[in-house]
Amino acid sequence: METFEVTGGARLRGEVEVTGAKNSVLKVMAAALLAEGTTTLTNVPDIIDVPIMSEVLRGLGADVTGHAPEIAITVPGEIGHEADYEHVRRIRGSVCVLGPLLARTGRARVALPGGDAIGSRALDLHVMGLERLGATFDNAHGYLIAEAPQLTGAQIWLDFPSVGATENVMMAAVLAKGTTTIDNAAREPEIVDLCEMLQGMGALIGGIGTSTLEIEGVDRLRPSVHDVVPDRIVAGTFAFAAAMTRGEISVHRARTEHLEIALDKLVQAGAEVGQLDDGFIVRCDRRPRAVDVVTLPYPGFPTDLQPMAIALNSIADGVAFVTENIFEGRFMFIDELVRLGGDVRTDGHHAIVRGRESLSGAPVRATDIRAGAALVLSGLVADGTTTVSDVFHVDRGYQQFVEALQSLGAPIVRRVDDTLV
């Protein structure tokens, strides 16, 4: 069993460099299925979800070669249509092959996905949008089975700006006959990144970055070379780390415009945020002030940074209210934070966090990717030693997280079966 052993008390100082976004790379890998030939992806993060997604693509007939930060995906003229349970169960993002498979083969058999335990993320909006394009669906033996001999453009309104549904519908629509309009589409930077890749492949997409996407279907797409957008959640994690530990961290290869609200919250908490040529710097020399946070679809405060906001407020001066509007299961990690001495009470999708001078080290368990990172940051401001288990979650979203923190002066080590590595 692998664990992180964290000792509290250090002020983090130094520089880190952000890699490509975990929330984008899996989707652009799936998009490669839309064109015969070899697509090259650069700025690929070295996280365990990438090789898992590579196996999903290989199971569909593609050849994936290379290693982070650059991989090549070679797609044959004819691809399979079944994404098996063995790989899909491990990452929920793998369901994004549904749209490309329907567009390329007219059918898809995709295992219902697994992934983080952060709440229900039903595929209803995916199915509704693809049905509007002409697909029919069935659910049998743990698989979502779809057929669409001919996809046809349609007007689609999403009840909620779902990132996954926007991606799947868009990837199907680029090869559909006619024009598709997606209203109330997600606007996340990862959506923009996928749009830009599809444009590079020859897709015709208007309204990029807005809540209304207009897609004119084309007969064929071509392979391309695409640089994955920097990971705003990783960048935000290090920003919160600086504020929590009263340190100073320069975050390079990050796009400040993707984190405006999160960085503003840190300023409200008492941190200083400065612009760099290729990122930003966060410094804090005092105990943070409590700040209220409400998660919302982009450009609102990201749900993926909500655990970090609760962790910061747990050692802040004052009382904060944190409201989670995206995933009801995001609060699961609070029980672990309480083990560290956090004073947090929940009521439905609201959390009341009363800040304490410090936390106290204890054994805790990562319940998902971002919860694991937040518990590590909490351990850095706790008395004594904190041992975080189930760290495979963290490895799914953060490239060399331990090494990056060590470079900033964090007393953290990885252990495998109690052996230091």
Q: At what angle do helices 124-132 and 98-105 cross, to 10 degrees?
A: 20
Q: Give 266-330 as a DSSP string.
A: HHHTT-EEEEETTEEEEE--SPPBP--EEB-STTSB-GGGHHHHHHHHHTSBSEEEEE--S-GGG
How many CB atoms lie under 10 A from the CB of residue 150?
10
How many CB atoms lie under 10 A from the CB of residue 120?
7
Distance of alpha carbon 188 from alpha carbon 335, whole angstroms: 30
Largest interatomic CA distance in the chain: 62
**Among 46, 49, 63, 116, which one carries the catalytic annotation?**
116
Token pair, residue 261, equals 């609200």
Enumerate residues 6+ apart whose C-beta is below 8 A from 76: 36, 61, 62
Token pair, residue 155, equals 């007007």
Cα-flanking dihedrals φ and ψ of residue 79, to 5°? -120, 160
* CA distances to 24, 57, 138, 150 from 84, in Å: 22, 10, 16, 24
116 is catalytic: yes
Q: Which residues are catalytic?
A: 116
